[in-house]
Amino acid sequence: MARRLTVNQEDEGSSPSVPADLDVISDMAKSLESISRLSRELQEEVLERVSSGVCPIELDGILYDVPEPIFALINGLVAQIQELSNLYEIPGHKGN
């Protein structure tokens, strides 16, 4: 279950509280840290790609751009497969 946090905003005209998912914030921090090691040009390319709502996915050495909800679905399915394979110890499949 995702951890949730309520962040209060004092600015006039803004909503009194904005729910923030701590897991999302943690993931964002890790992502920002990882791109901080890239050149400025690559950082800009990554940020443009992220803001466009598409994510790259590699299949058989080819990169495809897929909508963010599809990317999240794929990641969720991969995580479920890993959990199930660890739970049932499926032969020939290595979990984490």
pLDDT on residue 89: 73
Query: How do residues 20-63 score in pLDDT, each as one tens digit?
Result: 577 777 777 887 888 888 899 988 888 887 788 888 888 898 88
pLDDT on residue 41: 92
Per DSSP, 57 falls in state E
β-strands 4-8, 17-21 pairing:
antiparallel
Judge contact between 96 and 84, C-beta under 8 A. no
pTM for the model: 0.46
- Listed in sequence order, the residues at least 6 apart from 11 whose beta carbon sits closer than 8 Å to its beta carbon are none
